[in-house]
């Protein structure tokens, strides 16, 4: 049976609210996800929350009720609460119907199977959680194996990144590693590393990509460091026909991912 909590001072509410802060997420090894779509994607990928928060109105929604029941059957806790508390947990004035708490994933490279997919996305020093979430969505759309975060990137478990991923956080592989560790892992097996750069004349549609291809995009403002670019098998660029000199990192990743997908489809 669901437990009812309506006090902001309740320790469980305080703990859940604290997960909006990276320091507390790291300490607890937990993160927040919100909304029926995202929690449903998580369930379909085999993940249920350890706690699920909802309002009385949410229980009348068949999908929400199914998630609540599944969480309880799996040994998790269902907490009925007020809309004001749900707003506090989500950080939005118009909160989603449900909010869940999940354990953070294993982000080691060894957890990835490079043979499981033809396309992999790699982001270096990505700072914007919205871009990170969008890259996850792009990866899901093209059937990529996962997103590998290099060096100091935005936290993939932040509320903003989870929200922007629209559930792809749960459907895609995810890893994080320093550059040297990633490069050693990559070169220990098969995989073509394609970097995007303005310092090349090679059009992104000219070379034939090889499976599995690892598509590397650099920091939003600085791009790839010179030594990282030098380690790539190929450097390519997208034509810029207007006054802008580069694309948003997430957009550039999408363009590259669909070029690789279309080559492999043909």
Do 47 and 115 sit in the same domain of this protein?
no
Confidence band of 88 (pLDDT split at 50, 70, 90): confident
Q: Which of 80, 103, 126 is the last residue of a domain?
A: 103
Q: How far is CA 220 from CA 168, 192, 224, 244, in A?
A: 21, 22, 9, 14
Do 136 and 88 sit in the same domain of this protein?
no
Q: How far apart are CA 79 and CA 99, in angstroms?
A: 10
H/E stretch holding 190 reads none
Q: How far is CA 9 from CA 6, 82, 85, 98, 235, in A?
A: 9, 13, 10, 20, 54
Mean pLDDT over 103-121 rounds to 96
DSSP 3-state assignment of 202? coil
Handedness of CA 55, 60, 62, 66 (dihedral sign): positive
Confidence band of 222 (pLDDT split at 50, 70, 90): confident
Residue 246: pLDDT over 70: no
Mean pLDDT over 75-83 rounds to 94
Contact 122, 182 (CB under 8 A): yes
Q: What's 139's domain CATH number?
A: 3.40.1280.10
In the prediction, which pLDDT does 95 show? Answer: 65
Q: What's 63's domain CATH number?
A: 3.30.1330.30
Do 90 and 20 sit in the same domain of this protein?
yes
H/E stretch holding 173 reads strand 173-177
Mean pLDDT over 159-185 rounds to 96
Contact 81, 54 (CB under 8 A): yes
The token pair that represents 200 in the structure block: 């090349």
Do 28 and 82 sit in the same domain of this protein?
yes
Do 120 and 41 sit in the same domain of this protein?
no
Do 113 and 21 sit in the same domain of this protein?
no
In the prediction, which pLDDT does 66 show? Answer: 94
Do 13 and 123 sit in the same domain of this protein?
no
Mean pLDDT over 183-192 rounds to 97
Q: Which of 72, 103, 134 is the last residue of a domain?
A: 103
Do 178 and 59 sit in the same domain of this protein?
no
In the chain, what percentage of residues exceed pLDDT 90?
Answer: 81
CA neighbor of 181 nearest in space, from 110, 245, 81: 110
Residue scoring higher pLDDT (22 or 60): 22
Do 167 and 227 sit in the same domain of this protein?
yes
Q: How far apart are CA 253 and CA 41, in angstroms?
A: 23
pTM strictly above 0.85: yes
Do 113 and 181 sit in the same domain of this protein?
yes
Mean pLDDT over 163-172 rounds to 95
In the prediction, which pLDDT does 6 show? Answer: 84
Q: How far apart are CA 236 and CA 108, in angstroms?
A: 28
Could you tell me where the DSSP H helices lie in the chain?
Answer: 11-18, 22-28, 36-44, 62-73, 83-90, 129-142, 159-165, 168-171, 179-187, 226-230, 249-265
Do 51 and 124 sit in the same domain of this protein?
no
Q: Which of 39, 69, 103 is the last residue of a domain?
A: 103
In the chain, what percentage of residues exceed pLDDT 70?
Answer: 97
Range of the domain at 42: 3-103
Mean pLDDT over 223-244 rounds to 89
**Mean pLDDT (the chain, rounded):** 93
Do 70 and 200 sit in the same domain of this protein?
no
Residue 107: pLDDT over 90: yes
Q: How many domains does the chain have?
A: 2
Confidence band of 256 (pLDDT split at 50, 70, 90): very high
Among 54-58, 231-235, 262-266, the range with the most confident prediction by mean pLDDT is 231-235
Mean pLDDT over 188-212 rounds to 95
Q: How far apart are CA 226 and CA 223, in angstroms?
A: 9
In the prediction, which pLDDT does 60 show? Answer: 83
What is the per-residue pLDDT across 33-68, written as a single tens digit (0 to 9) for each? 999 999 999 999 999 999 999 998 888 889 999 999
Q: How far apart are CA 22 and CA 26, in angstroms?
A: 6
């Amino acid at each position: 049976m669901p437990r009812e909590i309506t006090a902001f001072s309740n320790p469980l509410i305080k703990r859940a609210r604290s997960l909006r802060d990276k320091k507390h997420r790291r300490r607890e090894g937990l993160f927040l996800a919100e909304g029926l779509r995202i929690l449903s994607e998580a369930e379909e990928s085999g993940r249920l929350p350890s706690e699920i928060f909802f309002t009385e109105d949410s229980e009348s929604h068949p999908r929400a009720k199914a998630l609540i029941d599944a969480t309880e059957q799996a040994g998790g806790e269902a907490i009925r609460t007020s809309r004001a508390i749900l707003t506090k947990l989500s950080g939005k004035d118009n909160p989603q119907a449900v909010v869940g708490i999940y354990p953070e994933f294993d982000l080691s490279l060894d957890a990835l199977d490079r043979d499981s997919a033809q396309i992999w996305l790699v982001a270096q020093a990505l700072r914007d959680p919205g871009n990170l979430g969008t890259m996850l969505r792009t990866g899901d759309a093209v059937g990529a194996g996962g997103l590998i975060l290099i060096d100091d990137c935005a936290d993939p478990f932040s509320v903003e990144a989870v929200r922007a991923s629209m559930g792809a956080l749960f459907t895609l592989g995810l890893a994080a590693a320093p550059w040297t560790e990633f490069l050693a892992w990559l070169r220990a097996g098969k995989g073509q590393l394609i970097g995007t750069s303005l310092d090349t004349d090679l059009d992104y549609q000219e070379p034939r990509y090889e499976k599995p291809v690892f598509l590397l995009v650099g920091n939003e403002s600085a791009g790839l460091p010179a030594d990282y670019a030098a380690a790539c098998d190929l450097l390519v660029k997208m034509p810029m026909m207007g006054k802008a000199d580069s694309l948003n990192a997430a957009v550039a990743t999408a363009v590259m991912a669909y070029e690789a997908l279309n080559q492999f489809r043909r």
